[in-house]
Amino acid sequence: GAVVSQHPSWVICKSGTSVKIECRSLDFQATTMFWYRQFPKQSLMLMATSNEGSKATYEQGVEKDKFLINHASLTLSTLTVTSAHPEDSSFYICSAPPGWGEGYTFGSGTRLTVV
Amino acid sequence: QKEVEQNSGPLSVPEGAIASLNCTYSDRGSQSFFWYRQYSGKSPELIMSIYSNGDKEDGRFTAQLNKASQYVSLLIRDSQPSDSATYLCAVRADNYGQNFVFGPGTRLSVLP
């Protein structure tokens, strides 16, 4: 099945700095990747959909200038949290689109803590 | 607005009992249904998928689908403490699209 590799698994950064999270498809080419955010004891919230070679599609309420998404190749999508603040501390998860009738394959997630 | 609803729990069952997790969805045209398990601090992992009305069994897990009632459930037999996790129900509108809707999840606690 599809394998998605996500790095880093955890990161601590100072308020005001930027953090980049990478999501790679290891055994398939992904023209689309999905980025989710999950706060403690809450469900997954879709933030945006990255599209290879074109602009990402952001969900309502998600600041596109703060959460920069780049999908420069068929195997790599990145999410950069710019000027991070403590309220951005969360669990960020990428996922690959499913094949016919299949479920999502998720990356291992990135725990971001902004201090 | 397509919605997927689950009881947030926590649902507590004793070890060895059957745990029953329920999910309802609003989009009558939904075609594919999935159950994910998420341990604390980890990303979700797919444990079951079901597409047709009726039951589908995989080991200790049984998924049940009733499209007329817009209801899907997951039964876990012989529950183990290692089954303690949050279970997410996900619904896909069609088999070709990428439009998934996730439920809020039910926290299951299996007591030794």
Checking DSSP bridges between strand B11-14 and strand B106-111, what pairing results, if any?
Answer: parallel
Strand partners, B37: B45, B87
**Are the C-beta atoms of B28 and B91 separated by less than 8 Å?**
no
**Are the C-beta atoms of A52 and A70 separated by less than 8 Å?**
no
Outline where DSSP puts E strands in B26-95. Answer: 32-38, 45-50, 54-58, 61-66, 71-76, 85-92
Of A17-26, A38-47, A83-92, A104-113, minimum mean pLDDT range: A38-47
- pLDDT range class, residue A31, cuts 50, 70, 90: confident
Asked if B41 and A91 come within 8 Å (Cβ–Cβ), the reply is yes
Tell me the pLDDT tens digit for each residue of A75-107: 899 999 999 999 999 999 999 876 655 677 889
B95 touches chain A (CB under 8 A): yes
Distance, CA of B106 to chain centre: 8
Give the per-residue pLDDT at B59: 96
Residue to test with chain B: of A21, A43, A47, most B Cβ within 10 A: A43
User: In Å, how far are A3, B67, B82 from B55, measured between CA atoms?
Assistant: 28, 12, 24
